[in-house]
Amino acid sequence: MICNGFLDCHLKRLKLSGCNDCLKVTNESRPTVKENNVSYTIGNKSKITVLKYKVDNGLISGVDEIRCDYLMMFPDCMKSYYIELKSQGWKKALNQLSNTYRLLHKEIYEYTPHLRAVIKSNVPNTRYNQEMKTLKGIRSNYPKATLRVGSRFNDEV
């Protein structure tokens, strides 16, 4: 179930009272999310506002839907980053990213979506792995989105 206050939080750029504490508003130059010794950082040299949402059991809770770990939104440049952090198991990560985007894109359709699966080990080789069909399926379903799987990223806003 998606948090009822999500749209208000993101439009007002603040955490609403009674919120389940899934949002952190910041202007860090290198906003980072971390879980189980896997992390993802975005360069934010201009220090624009970042809305960092804990998605799994925060913004989206319950057992009905699979979802990614985090969502970082940059309202000033209209970019959103869906982030799944995994020790391994990139195929599940892609499904989590795809489903989270499916659930939230109608609420934030004006944002350019970037889906990131950060995998600590066993990153897929795109030329040889049969399961890369999953990547192609996501790209064809969401042509506006960028999708990357890897252990390190150099994303900048």
The domain total for the chain is 1
140 found inside a domain: yes
**Residue 63 carries which DSSP code?**
S
Predicted pLDDT of residue 113 = 94
The verdict on residue 102 lying in a domain is yes
Domain of residue 17, residue span: 6-150
What's the one-letter identity of residue 156? E
Does any domain span residue 157? no
Residue 55 falls inside a structural domain: yes
Predicted confidence (pLDDT) at residue 13 exceeds the cutoff of 70: yes
CB 114 within 8 A of CB 139: no
Identify whether 107 is part of a domain: yes
Is pLDDT at 136 greater than 70 in this prediction? yes
pLDDT at 52: 95
- 1 inside domain: no
Query: What is the sign, positive or negative, of the torsion defined by CA atoms of 45, 113, 76, 68?
Result: negative
The answer to whether position 30 is within a domain reads yes
The pLDDT score that the predictor gives to residue 126 is 58
Q: What is the mean pLDDT of the chain?
A: 86
Write down the pLDDT at residue 18. Answer: 65
For residue 135, being part of any structural domain is answered with yes
Q: In whole angstroms, how far apart are CA 88 and each of 64, 91, 115, 117, 127? A: 23, 9, 17, 10, 19
